[in-house]
Structure 1
């Protein structure tokens, strides 16, 4: 029994979740679905949950109780005889009443009066009277003090099924026997005709609904097709004979029938799923879609999300296979690779990664230079231009330096491109006390985290769309909007399904 506070807490949570039983029970761990709904009805009708439930009126009165026990004690203490005579109560309840009123009779309560087994001669005499009787079998059974079913069991035991069926009492002449035989043949013919008509109707419906040949074998149809035929003929034929004719289990029929009669319970979820998928550049797979739905209080399993995505034609963008392009040439000495493919960081601004990526659209070429923080993959600064010149990387570096007060312990890693060896770049790095690090030549995996950002950006935003009618200015605006969405809203499983900015806010790095 739950306390008043527990019931009130459950009803309040139930109403806050929009009367969602599963969410309420999952969070509280109690009660059952029916109990929760009953508490809610009490709350809506009375403005509060009942502090205690009223006891229901006893099913049997004290007078009925004493009458049953008195009858039991006066008639050989037979439970079966008492129940048969009065029509109440159950065996267990009568036993409890007897133990309550007559404790000394507890060990003497029995279910029925044992009688000696009938002899073979008695059975034969009873069967003979049954077959030659003029009255009903019930009257004969009462006369012999046996049950009516027992008489027929003795008849089958002694005469067998066939002889017992043929040995009926003769109430008429031989003509009556012939008439009964003819009626039996007529009934068999009628059954055959109905069976043929049923088969004809099934073949006809299979041709109309399923576009099958008229001579199709009904047994090779799948269960869903058989269900359609049964539904089409339910008004003319009984369900049992239809299932028997099609050799289909009853449970299979109702299993395939229920989805067609019940509405789509995921109708609203499908719309929400499509909106989330569309708002996030078609980039979310089933795992991140499941997490995004959970943030909107829609809880589904991964299997359901995958099935709904498949049914809705929602396919996340995938990276294209590209040929490997090696780097050749070395113009000057480069610093050591301090990162050494360790792209993990315990705090922001420990390790920065940068590179340049090209976007070629019909209107022209666009270049992007970002600065990636290894702590959470956040793009802390970026610059976009139509020329891969020094201003592209220098402006990005200046914006990144402004985000920190002391960059003495910050490592900035890049490839061996000429942009990161020009005097302007080297001067800015030196003034900010940044520590330089460079990949080995012709080894893009040494800067894999930054390359991975480019891959995700192009897979989710660049490759899936047609840019033939887009100007360079429009493309730059969309590229800038994507990076802002990437920082603010794009959730990552490695961050507990939070965006980089949400992750930093949860740790207190941003206010």
Structure 2
């Protein structure tokens, strides 16, 4: 019997944990069935009785439900009490005796089994599948307790193999074969996993690892890295590399690297130019330094050192606001070749979107050699952005020079401020067709190079607008003075103009 306070404490613990087992484990009382009844009474009445009396009997419906559960689920007293939470085993046994006397378990002490019968009964028990032990015991004619007793006796002595049925032997052999097959599959899957992980560590390809796309040299390096753990013959099969090729590349790898010095030079040029140079400009840089090397070797070294120039394309900024003023003809007609500086200029506006905000660039590009004649950077694509850029560009013109300035049909180049500046400086206007990007391909090509080399593939998370503008300005200075162009003979724009004595 439990005091009122003890019952209430158990109920509150259950409501706290929402678990009968947790409450009972912490208190050490009561039984699960008792706690279920207390909680039910508490939820129904809002409290529990303070008197230390309890019902002396269950309802007839509860008794019948318990007996039915006992008969339906294997005739196990403990299982029924555990699932229903009531009653005790002794009380349930009495209910079964009263309500279903014909279903009570009867002791079969008088039945004696021979040794063969015992072995057959135990074999049926062990291979019964989903059938209950009680059903097997009923067929044999003994209680399940006696059946398990025979099992313990026979297994402790050991049953001869020849006593087992042929079907059992066959099943065991099949299971052994399946286990062996599964072990082999697990072994090869683990080998493939280790190979891919090691390949990711050693080769480091940004596009992902595909064993079938690796060169035989890379496969040889990979095999040697993982070989202590697996057999060579197995690894050669997995990576699909002939043994003769493996032996050849292993021998070659043991030789000194004849490109060791130039390899370091290539990496230095690549990093010094902010990872913007591809193999052609790296080859030209080496040539300018007096190092003669084929482009094929440069490409191979770049591949081995994973020197990759990232290229990404994003949505283009659109400045078209309708037909604000009459459009002028397209004078250039996509002929961007100029015989001298300041003959043909192209311009446009491009947008840079970073976490700190948006930045706009308006450059003036000379078609003669790709020089950026002038540029302005702002956080707003307004009239001042393009007009200031035009004023800077005009300031470098000689009195006898008259440049053709080609633009798209954006609103900035159709406002009166732009038109007045063009007329006052005797400049010639030229415009692309509406929505025809190729008509201004020279400027679009500059923007693509700019963003591939400077913007894409970089993290701008902690960069402010002011810092970004400063970095962009530094890039444009580098573009004019240091960046080499293959079309100019592998030298920078300013050096090219110096070679032509166009500048001092």
| TM norm structure 1 | 0.51
**Paired position in structure 2 for 1:399:** 392
Matched, 1:344 2:337: yes
Measured after TM superposition, the shift of residue 281 of structure 1 is 2.5
201, 204, 211: which one aligns with 2:230: 211
Structure 1 residues 11-34: Cα deviation after superposition (integer angstroms, max 9, x where no partner): xxxxxxxxxxxxxxxxxxxxxxxx
1:273/1:223 CA distance change after superposition, 3 Å? same
Q: Which runs of 5+ in 1 are unaligned?
A: 1-204, 228-254
Matched, 1:423 2:413: no
| 2-structure distance, mates of 1:217, 1:446 | 55
**Paired position in structure 2 for 1:180:** none
| TM norm structure 2 | 0.51
Matched, 1:464 2:457: yes
Matched, 1:376 2:369: yes
Greater shift in the superposed pair: 312-321 or 295-304: 312-321
Contact 1:369 1:382 in 2 (8 A): yes
Structure 1 residues 450-470: Cα deviation after superposition (integer angstroms, max 9, x where no partner): 011111111111011010110
**Paired position in structure 2 for 1:143:** none
Contact 1:341 1:448 in 2 (8 A): yes
491, 497, 510: which one aligns with 2:503: 510
**Paired position in structure 1 for 2:267:** 274
1:456/1:208 CA distance change after superposition, 3 Å? closer
| 2-structure distance, mates of 1:507, 1:216 | 60
Measured after TM superposition, the shift of residue 387 of structure 1 is 1.1
1:504/1:209 CA distance change after superposition, 3 Å? same
Contact 1:491 1:497 in 2 (8 A): yes
Contact 1:328 1:442 in 2 (8 A): no
1:213/1:443 CA distance change after superposition, 3 Å? closer
Q: Which runs of 4+ in 1 moved over 6 A?
A: 213-218, 323-326
**Paired position in structure 1 for 2:357:** 364
**Paired position in structure 2 for 1:433:** 426
Measured after TM superposition, the shift of residue 319 of structure 1 is 4.1
1:485/1:324 CA distance change after superposition, 3 Å? closer
Structure 1 residues 208-254: Cα deviation after superposition (integer angstroms, max 9, x where no partner): 75722899999x961255x4xxxxxxxxxxxxxxxxxxxxxxxxxxx
Matches within 5 A, 1:43-442: 209=228, 211-212=230-231, 222-223=243-244, 225=246, 227=247, 256=249, 258-320=251-313, 329-406=322-399, 408-442=401-435
Measured after TM superposition, the shift of residue 407 of structure 1 is 5.9
| 2-structure distance, mates of 1:467, 1:216 | 43
Contact 1:328 1:441 in 2 (8 A): no
Q: Which runs of 5+ in 2 are unaligned?
A: 1-223
Contact 2:324 2:415 in 1 (8 A): no
| 2-structure distance, mates of 1:208, 1:375 | 58
Secondary structure at 2:459's aligned position in 1? coil
Q: What is the number of residues matched between the two proteins?
A: 277
| 2-structure distance, mates of 1:332, 1:264 | 66
| 2-structure distance, mates of 1:414, 1:215 | 64
